[in-house]
Amino acid sequence: MFALTGVLLFASMLRNCFNLPRFRGLKGVVVEQAKPQLNFKSYSNGSFQTQTEQYLKQHFGYREPLIRLHNQYLWDFYGKTPVSEGQIVFGKDGWIYEPWVVRDYYQTLFFTHADNAEEMTRLLKGEAKRLYQLQHILEPYGKYLFVCMPPSKDMIYPEYLPENHDTRHEGEEKMSARFFVKDEYARLGVNFLDLGQDFLLMKDTADFMLFPTTGTHWSRYASLFAADTLIRYMEYLGDINMRNLVIGPRTLADAEDQDKDLENLLNLIRALPRPQYYYATATTDNDSTAVKPKMITIGDSFWWNIVQQLPMKEIFSAFPYWYYNSTIYYDKNHHSVDEVDLVDEILSTDFFNLFYSSTQLYRMNNDFTKKALIALCYDPEEIESINDDIEQSIRCDSKWMERLEERASTQGKTIDEVVSNERKWLVNKFPEKYFPALKDSIPTKRAKRVEAYYTLDSLSFIEQEIEKVILELKASEQKMVSIREKATKHNKTIDKALRDDAHWVVNNKIQRGVLKWHGTTKH
Amino acid sequence: MVFSSNVFLLYFMPAFFLVYFLTPRKARNYVLLLASLVFYAWGAPEFIIQLVASTVANFYLVQWMCKTEKKGLKKLLCGISIIIPIGLLLFYKYGNFTMENLNAIIGLTGHAPLTWKRIMLPIGISFFSFQSVTYTLDTYRGVNKPMEKLTDFVLYIIMFPQLIAGPIIRYCDVADQIRSRESTMDDRLQGFYRFVIGLCKKILIADVIGAQVDAILGPANYSLLDAGQISDIFSRVANLDSTTAWIVSLAYTFQIYFDFAGYSDMAIGLGRIMGFRFPENFDNPYTSRSITEFWRRWHMTLGAFIMNYLYIPLGGNRKGKARMYLNLWICFLLSGLWHGASWNFVVWGALHGLLICADKLFLGKVMKKIGMVPSVILTFLTVNIIWVFFRVEDFGLAWMLIKRMFAFDFTLLPFSGNAQLYVTMIIAAFFSFFTLSKFGQKVQKKVFFTDFTNGQHIAVWIIAAFAFVFCVAALNASNFSPFIYFRF
């Protein structure tokens, strides 16, 4: 018996050594604790011990089945799990929601981002103005910025929200960004695609679920229709022809992971009761005359269902996904937005898709618009000089510095880091104060690189035009004779001579104003 | 390192027992000593050298004390040997408290406060400093001979099962076991069962209830909170209805018992696996019929220490009734201060001291007269109310909570979404009062103090193994709360 006790005590270590048997992994993401490094400093200040505890919590043997076992016990006996307490709200008929979605339905979510409705309104107005400015700065260059708002679950299926979940008190302020921005964007003329409205219209006629009962994002199948609408909107906005989406025959199947993402967080042993959902494969019509623009999507997790299901390479020349304007996906060269030269990226992109669902509108596009406006209107040297001035003014204020020194000591940072963070906070909070060009309704000031935009070769739009001209040249035997002569004369390959000629033709067209890709504000 | 952690349960404990039982009997104390050093060095790296140095110094001081024939020198060495651990205790545990109060007084006079860098409290200092004192005094009094081997003495002081939270083991109770002990198969299995019982008390009861207590009253130590967070706690408590206030106080009453008793069970269980018989620390304290009885059942090893090394030296009951009451009150005041360096602990100790005196004067007779059930209920409620001062560091907040308890604005079922809290509290109450019945006493005797047959061992082992696995699951799952995706 005591030997058995030994086996029991060593079971976890043995599982880690041999990694057998294998278990279903836990779903959801957590902040991974890196393997702690043992050295005298980390040991003596206790950080090694703390990190080891945390690391072992995430890596002990039998972790997966044990956590599922405990969660299932809590679920069966008390109808909850640790995750359900803060991240899931249980509605009627087995429907589950994220709590912030429910709060937004009752128009109280804004309190997590502002002290009162007035402040929230001011912030949203400021962001709408910046969207308008950016849109109008980009338009003359044939670049289109638009806001696309996917629906949220509470908006489409409020009837399954739980009773008595309205936490508003009598006379308490309420507001929801989704209603405010709709009116404000229309008033200013900001390009805006309200997919929520489309979904509401679809709800009565669609014979499929627009949202899964135990997921938080739109259903995989419904998001394909949203993608189709999005492509048509881009065609309309840019006055271009893009490849059309073809949605294949649908099949009924058990929920894929994305359609039960909230349920997955519960990490139970047994699945929750839920219906089957439709799934289909999306292709394109292979239209060879269609253009393939480059689109950057800055947005939240609703985009995953689109980018994972669509044949993106057939529709777009490039389609980086700037997740919450932080981590970059679908871009070989960059991993984080901090690595990106913003002006370069903007000038080489045709469409900017600001894709935030209604509960994420309070994030103000994660400051993309502020950073883009400053980068487009000011040269790097000017920005650096303004930043230096701000930091200088901070350092000259002894009381301010006293506070920052205290912060540096409590946060374990250097004073330079804290001053730099304070400067970033100030610029983010008051961009127009420090960059006065942004005060104009549409700023006229431009960075030198932006002014010189038409001479850049890297534009995908120009690249596509060049490709078209190359095809035309190749089709004409007479022109090809002339190109072969040029190649021999200048000691070039025929391909190089062909490309140079096509490049010249396109540049000439642009300079003469023959080739333009202007658009107008569209809804 | 605490027992209810992955590092201990899944790595340290299995590795230790494997090495311990594979080592020849003669060398096992060295394995235990080394493991204890590692155990302590893990949790208090900055203090391990001082602990070992002071322990070594004490060992040689006591040896010198025993060898010398000079009475004066003997007394002096005894004094130094006591001053070293008590001095460390005073410095580390009461340094911050003393300076805070000193600066408060200086502030009243309008002078600038003294600068003082806050010091961290080394874990277990309250326990091992007392054990060191028992060694010195027991040897001085001739109750036991001094340890012959330095390693045995260091082992007595820092033996990991009881190092962090007791029980406080008197030298005379364990000296022989350190020199020589037997660990039968029955001991090993019973020790394992006892350890698992303690683990269940801690993880499945105390931690579950404690989470709700913390949600209302905030963390036990407010020094890490900012003014806004403290203000939030005040407004939360000010708005409690009486039902919630009572539930919170009762929850804490159960939490502290199951937490502390659970830790003692684990220590006793670990000791028993190795063949040690550590003294019991709790004997169903909430079934007491008076505060005096409560103290005979609650943290019994501390009670014994105070009785032997403080109350009796102060004169006990040998110097008249008035002096006896004063001695009792001083003992409880100091006992309160021993639990924590803060005025709320002093108030808690003082109240218990007053009630003990009242017991001796008249209350004890009243309690006997009113019968068992009313006296148990009254004692329990009294203890429950006084625990508020133990839990809430801020005196004003503690008073506010008590006022809310007696505001008589009761509501029906607060925490309605938290069935787990109610179920756990009912289980806690059941096990707290179980031994009031004869059946309960029988079961307790059978589980804790009777040898099992082979068949019983198999059944109990299966239950214990499942409980152990479930505790590990609960320990790790209780705060596993992933996100669908990262948000920035």
Report whether pLDDT(A511) > 80.
no
Put simply, whether B10 touches A (Cβ < 8 Å) is yes
Token code pair at residue B226:
């900012």
pLDDT of residue A301: 92
The 10s digit of each residue's pLDDT in A17-55 is 887 778 888 888 887 788 888 888 888 888 888 888 888
pLDDT of residue A10: 78
Length of chain B in terms of residues written: 488
The DSSP output letter for B360 is I
> Which residue from A46, A53, A325 is facing B7, i.e. has the nearest CB?
A53
Beta carbons of A13 and B476 less than 8 Å apart:
no
Report whether pLDDT(B389) > 80.
yes
pLDDT of residue B235: 85
Distance CA B477, CA A63 (A): 9
Beta carbons of B458 and A1 less than 8 Å apart:
yes
User: What is the DSSP track for B239-268?
Assistant: T--HHHHHHHHHHHHHHHHHHHHHHHHHHH
The 10s digit of each residue's pLDDT in B182-196 is 888 888 999 999 999
What share of residues in chain A are helix, strand, coil (percent, to 5)?
60, 10, 35
Distance CA B263, CA B167 (A): 9
pLDDT of residue B416: 65
Report whether pLDDT(B120) > 60.
yes
The 10s digit of each residue's pLDDT in B18-32 is 999 999 988 999 999
Residue A213 burial class via C-beta count within 10 angstroms: exposed 0-12, middle 13-18, buried 19 and up: buried
Report whether pLDDT(A280) > 90.
yes
pLDDT confidence bin for A426, thresholds 50/70/90: very high
Distance CA B191, CA B161 (A): 12
The 10s digit of each residue's pLDDT in A102-161 is 888 888 887 778 888 888 899 999 999 999 999 988 888 889 999 999 999 999 999 999
The 10s digit of each residue's pLDDT in A432-456 is 999 999 988 788 888 988 877 654 4
Beta pairing, strands A144-149 & A192-194: parallel
pLDDT confidence bin for A457, thresholds 50/70/90: very low
Q: How far is A48 from chain B (nearest CA, A)?
A: 9
pTM of the model: 0.77
Least CA distance to B9: which residue of chain A? Answer: A9
The residues with which A194 forms a beta bridge, in sequence order, are A149
Beta carbons of B6 and A56 less than 8 Å apart:
yes
Token code pair at residue A376:
């487009």
* Cα dihedral across residues B177, B180, B184, B188: positive or negative: positive
Q: Which residue has the higher pLDDT, B237 or A150?
A: A150
pLDDT of residue A421: 92
> Which residue from B189, B420, B476 is facing A67, i.e. has the nearest CB?
B476
User: Average pLDDT of B134-162?
Assistant: 86
pLDDT of residue B201: 94
Token code pair at residue A203:
């709800």
pLDDT of residue A456: 45
Mean predicted lDDT score pLDDT of chain A = 87
User: What is the DSSP track for A417-461?
Assistant: HHHHHHHHHHHHH-HHHHSGGGGSSS-----HHHHTGGG-S--HH
Distance CA A172, CA B11 (A): 53
Report whether pLDDT(A469) > 70.
yes
Beta carbons of B189 and A2 less than 8 Å apart:
yes
Mean predicted lDDT score pLDDT of chain B = 86
Q: Residues A497, A490: contact at Cβ < 8 Å? A: yes
For the CA atoms of B183, B186, B187, B188, what is the dihedral angle to 10 degrees?
A: 90
Q: How far is A324 from chain B (nearest CA, A)?
A: 6
pLDDT of residue A513: 55
pLDDT of residue A507: 66
Chain B residues touching residue A77 (CB < 8 angstroms): 419-420, 423
Within a 10 A sphere around the Cβ of B231, how many other Cβ atoms? 11
Catalytic residue among B299, B339, B352, B457: B339
Distance CA B463, CA B451 (A): 17
Within a 10 A sphere around the Cβ of B129, how many other Cβ atoms? 25
Report whether pLDDT(A510) > 70.
no
Question: Which of B87, B89, B83 is closest to B137 using CA atoms?
Answer: B83
B residues 249-288 closer than 8 Å to A (CB): none
Helix (H) or strand (E) holding B433: helix B419-433
pLDDT of residue A260: 92
Q: How far is A478 from chain B (nearest CA, A)?
A: 58
Report whether pLDDT(A523) > 50.
no
User: Average pLDDT of A391-398?
Assistant: 92
Classify each residue of A457-478 as buried b or exposed e, where b means 16 or more C-beta atoms within 10 Å of its C-beta.
eebbbbbbbbeebbeebeeeee
Q: How far is B115 from chain A (nearest CA, A)?
A: 17
B residues 467-486 closer than 8 Å to A (CB): 468-470, 472-474, 476-486
pLDDT of residue A253: 94
pLDDT of residue B312: 85
The 10s digit of each residue's pLDDT in A57-70 is 888 888 889 999 99
| Block residue for tokens 């610029």 | A427
Chain B residues touching residue A12 (CB < 8 angstroms): 10, 472
Chain A residues touching residue B42 (CB < 8 angstroms): 49
The DSSP output letter for B205 is I
The residues with which A149 forms a beta bridge, in sequence order, are A194
- Is B299 among the residues known to form the active site? no
Report whether pLDDT(B407) > 90.
no
pLDDT of residue A33: 80
Within a 10 A sphere around the Cβ of A518, how many other Cβ atoms? 11
